[in-house]
Amino acid sequence: QVQLLESGGGLVQPGGPLRLSCAAPGRAFPGSAMGWFRQAPGKGRVFVSVIDWNNDKTYYADSVNGRFTVSRDNAKSTVYLQMNNLKPEDTAVYYCAARDGHCRIAGMTWTSEYDYWGQGTQVTVSS
């Protein structure tokens, strides 16, 4: 019963920034944990980052740590992924996902741990 609406994808040059949004209309909060995953052409869907909605704790994949920042806006029931210093290898369809049940943030790196998914938004990093 949770609908996740993603936006913010597009074309950006290497080194540039981009911010993705994932909103859950009609919800007080999107989920107990909100994750970001990405899937490049011919690749599987892999973990990017996750945020605990209640305590704001975060966890990042090594490939994006230091470049990406996940955050939330309680009033808008929205989670954001701020991506800086983008690289061509970051090109992928980015998905947000919500987990309803109790969980450990550090363990939320698998797609099977989530209950709801957004439709995905394309991010292309190219010069």
97 contacts: CB under 8 Å, gap ≥ 6: 4, 34, 35, 36, 37, 111, 114, 115, 116, 117, 118
Rounded-to-integer distance, Cα 69 and Cα 62, Å: 12
What confidence tens digit (pLDDT) does each residue in 13-46 have?
A: 999 999 999 998 777 666 789 999 999 999 999 9
What confidence tens digit (pLDDT) does each residue in 95-123 have?
A: 999 998 878 888 899 999 999 999 999 99
